[in-house]
Structure 1
Amino acid sequence: MKKIIFSVLFLVVCLALIMQTDFGQLLRTGNIEEVAARIQSYGWIAIFIAMAAVVIQTFFPIVPFVLLAGANVMVFGLWGGFVTNWIAAVLAALANFALARYAARDWAEKKMGHHAFVQKLNRQAETKGFFIILFARWIPVLPSSAVNTASGISKLPFKSFLFATILGKIPAVFFESVLGNYMINWENHKGTLVLLIIGLALFMVGLNYLKKKKKSTLLS
């Protein structure tokens, strides 16, 4: 019961921050350059505000993560922004996992329990769970929140989820941090932005090829 109450309070606080604060109202406008300027104006607590924004975005995605990540790069530079985004993304994933496993399990199971990803994760949670989550983090079109929720309602050990998320988030968050920064300043980075999109498309094609090849090998 205490976990449920804590979870509800957590979500209520997140919603209140979005609806009742000046920064939350600014986030809702989607003006990323203004968001970056506001974060920078907070001085030494800016990094905590930036992380909080990423965590809240996980549960109330009023702004795409890629743009928020780009805003943090504008404020803290490439490496500082990446580290900020990465730590916040890991913390958000852990919060999402905890909510699904301990507070809203019945709701989450009704929503996602029938999905093939969850069923596969349950079958191989103890033997291959770490690698399933690790690779899932590398697939850009697979929503992070879906991976977190599926992990929470599965039999996956928390330790496997934690380390797979810490490692798996590194390339994904770095890519989105760079991409987000270029999207915000797209007029100055048109060529690079096109190359990144082409690279992402080729990566997805390669993953699909490897998946089909593995399936055909198992069937032969």
Structure 2
Amino acid sequence: MQNLSIFDINISSKLTGIFEQLQSTLRKFDFSDIKEKELYSKVQSINPKQDIVLEDIEWLYEDYEKLSDVFDGLDSDFSFLDSELANYLKKIIYSRNIAKREKIVILISHIEKLIEECLDESFGKSGIKQEVKNAINSKLDKVTGANIGRCYILAITNIVFARTDAFNDEIDKRIPFRNHILHNGIYQYSDSEISQMYFVLLSFIKNILIGGWANKYEAFD
């Protein structure tokens, strides 16, 4: 057997470590079609013209157990958007003088523009759901951070802008349905419903921002 010096052993161990790390890294890359994944199936299962309840969409914010988890890094999540809207929404969210009910109405009134900015699109007059679908579906191919973000934005759009007048059952007041809130008001909602809705809405906004960040820096994905 050939005698190896300590130098030879160290080099061999180092190369082995690099090789193992490379294998591990390669296994993390998934170049298959994102439309074949469970995530896309979940997105497709959300029909904006059929009843939606909170239990059906919990997967969209399962990374956040409580409101403080959503606030963790939220200010930084806005940083890639150098716009008046981003600065305004941050002021509303972090204001101590505005109640959650008022914040919900203000934030949900501007969520369409936020989605537009995060997707770097200029929406026409086809309606927000169709505009987002058109902007996203044409770009969905392999599994990337940007495409995962787009899937989340598409799902959130179909929820927030759902056709609640087409629902058969009573509206789930824990979900921030934009049109229902702006057309019918929010003051009949209980404090518990408001707290849950605010948590869901901020989770949605955080995920829209993360999706927008991934979309902007897609070239580095």
Q: Same fold (TM over 0.5)?
A: no
Higher-helix-fraction structure: 1
What TM-score do you get using the length of structure 2 for normalisation? 0.27
Highest relative contact order (Cα 8 Å, sep 6+), 1 or 2?
A: 2
What TM-score do you get using the length of structure 1 for normalisation? 0.27
